Amino acid sequence: MSKNKNPQTPRELIIENLKVKGQVIKQVAITTHDVFLEFKNLLHKTQSELAVTLAKDNINIYLEYSDIGQFEAEMKINDEVVIYTQHSNVFTFDQDHYIWRLPYIQEDPMRAHCGMIQIYNFLSDSFKYNRNQDVGYLIARLFVNKDKHFFIEGKRQLGFLYNDFENLILDSIHIQDVIESSILYSLNFDLLVPPYEMVKELTLNQKIEMQIIESQQTGKRLGFRFSADDEEIK
């Protein structure tokens, strides 16, 4: 009877992990950041083109693109702020996630490691008046792997047009579509007055310590939860 091969030592397992998984994670991080740079370029281009078109039509709209740093950019349109952020880490998914049932992932589980870009919608006055209790809403989050295969979890068309992880490969056309869809969703996502019962009381301490404009939480949908909200904008 032949002897079983000796099990790998912890040192050998570390080296194997770094050779395989570590290199994949490094490549995913590079790919995701390249994608986010393209997001920034196209956001700036979109802002410039919209500004020219609106000026020709004599439409006075506040429109500004800002590069906030390595992992963030934003588009301000009147009282809306659409924020695009790249998470610095690489993720995979819990075992109940549908991607594990895809032949594409079963052939190579390393393909399930993805970078993430998130898109949020805030009110510009939340920043202007330092209303720190105001809430922003997650419009979409984009996942992309080392080979630029991607899918999106999101609202409306962002949630159902881009869910073919096996076949969708991210390019500038897809990125432009995501930018325009996220801006349009934000513009159509109307501000609702808070329920009366939530704001009917104000303590004297709140009045003294904070301006009233800062002490009342504002949001387009108070109590909004991205994972549970299936409401469509009409």
Burial grade of 138 (CB within 10 A; 0-12, 13-18, 19 or more) = middle
Task: At 123, list the tokens.
Answer: 């009110």
pLDDT band at residue 102 under the 50/70/90 scheme = very high
pLDDT band at residue 226 under the 50/70/90 scheme = very low
Three-state DSSP at 215 gives helix
DSSP string for residues in 187-204: HHS---PPPHHHHS---H
- Whether 143 contacts 169, CB under 8 Å: no
pLDDT score for 230: 44
> In the chain, what percentage of residues exceed pLDDT 90?
57
Is the confidence at residue 97, as pLDDT, over 90?
yes
d(CA 47, CA 39): 12
| pTM, two decimal places | 0.80
List of E strands, 145-218 = 150-154
